[in-house]
Amino acid sequence: MNDTKVPARVFPRAKQDAETARSGAHTPQTEHPAYRLAFQDMDFLLREDLRPVRFQLELLKPELIFDEHNIASTFVFYGSARIPEPMKAQALLAAAPKEGPARVIAERLVAKSRYYDVARELAQKVSNFPLDEAGKRHFVVCSGGGPSIMEAANRGALDVGAESIALNIVLPHEQAPNPFVTPALSMQFHYFALRKMHFLLRARALAAFPGGFGTFDELFELLTLIQTGKIAAIPILLFGREFWERVVNFPALVEEGVIAAKDLDLFTFVETAQEGWDVVRAHYSDVEGMVIP
């Protein structure tokens, strides 16, 4: 025997066996669900008993995709799905009644619509961050993949030719990722918990724009994780001091004794993209080997 090369594997790959199984004989035995390969059996995979397996799959799939794309860190964008870009906001205002609650809402959406452009500009800035020495990518834009503020973030990355991430979630009403998301980095989740994990596992900075329940949910979970020491502090930018101070009385939480005064230092109010980027640069200026242009 002259060939001393040891074969890399002796068992067929799962994909190969799956193809063989699909093209096999058709008998009462092979047609029964019990005969299906476990990983081809959707009825089996969707059983209540298999929830731990589905958890693992939703954790693992994005993790592998991020690794394959050399994504070492992300810059996460949270914000309302209801704040339109300025031109659309003006159109909504023009169609609104002359007075009443609907008029007030339309006017306030117009006032907040400027944050669409701010989010887009910030995404442009962070997407220009250079690769590190190992070829890894940092501050990759990551949004929930929806419209409005999330769309602005993905759009800003695309403006400068950069890829961006979308972590979408299955909801009862029909939805789709915004058209500016990189298709290879557009992911969909069933479990909110796993989606939240992937928002924060690689997050090294976060921008929270005016938003509703979803924005509050994600933001306050991050604040809690940092407050309790579960994760290291990262820059948290709250865009729109007027909005945040109107809807959340942060000083009152201190006065009521339910948070500490130092907890108010966990976030920074900002108004412009440059101001926000400067906060991030200052936060990491003392990190060894990290130079932020």
Residue 231's domain is classified under what CATH number? 3.40.50.450
Structural domains in the chain (count): 1
Q: What is the mean pLDDT of residues 12-22?
A: 87
24 within domain boundaries: no
Is residue 183 domain-resident? yes
Contact 125, 277 (CB under 8 A): yes
Q: What local confidence, expressed as pLDDT, does residue 25 receive? A: 81
Pairing of β 203-208 and β 74-78: parallel
Domain limits for position 139: 68-83+114-284
What does the pLDDT average to over 63-83? Answer: 96
Contact predicate 166/187, CB 8 Å: yes
- CA separation for the pair 58, 190 (Å, rounded): 8
Most confident listed range (17-31, 100-114, 129-143): 129-143
Confidence (pTM):
0.90
Determine, yes or no, domain membership for 16: no
205 — phi, psi (to 5°)? -165, 155
118: closest CA among 158, 79, 66?
79
Whole-angstrom distance, CA of residue 61 vs CA of residue 54: 11
For residue 183, give Cα distances in angstroms to 65, 72, 196, 217, 251. Answer: 12, 19, 20, 26, 42
Does some domain include residue 36?
no
Alpha-carbon distance of 292 to 235, in angstroms, equals 14
Tell whether 181 is covered by a domain: yes
Within a domain: residue 275?
yes
5 found inside a domain: no
Q: Confidence band (pLDDT; 50, 70, 90) for 223? A: very high
Asked if residue 219 belongs to a domain, the reply is yes
Residue 120: band (very low, low, confident or very high) from pLDDT cuts 50, 70, 90? very high
pLDDT in tens, 155-175: 999 999 999 999 999 988 767
| Res. 117: pLDDT tops 60 | yes
DSSP sequence for 181-238: S-GGGEEEES-HHHHHHHHHHSEEEEEE-S--HHHHHHHHHHHHHHHTTSS----EEE
CA-closest candidate to residue 62, choices 197, 235, 253:
197
